[in-house]
Structure 1
Amino acid sequence: MEKKIHEKKGVTFDAVREYRLEKEVPVLEGFWKWLDAQHAAKGTRMYKALTYIQNRRPFLDTYLEDGGCSFNNNTSERSCKAFVIGRKNFLFADTPDGATASALVYSLVEIAKANGADVYYYLKYLLTKTPTNLTSDEELEKLCPWDPECKDALEQLHHADQKTIFDAM
């Protein structure tokens, strides 16, 4: 069901949420009803599996609340893979502060990618805004790549660069 909704182009998070509530909730309810009817001998692998899933039940349904959430963490795992593989080769990562800085920059890059923003222009935009620890939450929210103001600013940066390139020709 998740694959079906995500194959469609231009689907909003609200549409994903509505689809999940309509199509997936009945399937999950059936699964939970089936699960509740299962009885396994204590100490068996089946008993451990049933206990494991029932203990996580409150958390498993949370993906239904937000269309932007994923049913699994495969995307997160894939986005971290390059960082984990390359971290030993990163410049200045030989100290804890260097590793923290690398992780922060890498997080910004992945956030930009996940929101369809051009990484170069997003980082350029952030560096011109130079947020600090004194920047308010509202101001930080406007620097996020999903914010309409940020999207407009990124488009303007891109067009300005394109104009400069064509003017130089």
Structure 2
Amino acid sequence: MADKLTPEQRSWNMSRIRGKHTKPELLVRRLLHAKGYRYRLHGQAGSPRLPGNPDLVFAGRRKVIFVNGCFWHFHDCRVGQHAPKANAEFWAAKRERTKERDAGQRRQLEDAGWEVLTVWECELKNGSALESQLVRFLGTTSLGHHSSAGQQRS
């Protein structure tokens, strides 16, 4: 299927895509905040910044979370495996560079003593599974539980 946009329109659209405060990231942040978890944003765990600028940093726990878009980080799901047909050579090279960069950043973090979790955009569809995965990774909150924010505490 041919692109319905001109190269100029496509370029303009692509230039507007941002890497911070994305819809998937905000969803994960809201879920964790409601459960009582507190975090820093985008690689801030003091100076210097952490490799890869993780989306969520839990400095006291030495844990970080990346919230990755399946298309942009080439996840194994259907969306991540779809490469645009236009400029196929460019996308193949980009896919390889992105995978190598992500793996290198993960290795750097792990070598520095950080635990790393990647949440994929496609995983956001199943809220209860996502919540379980996050709680398993992070452990209990500083309040000693992982109850929902709406429940009363005694």
TM-score (norm 2): 0.27
Q: Which has the higher strand share?
A: 2
More helix by share: 1
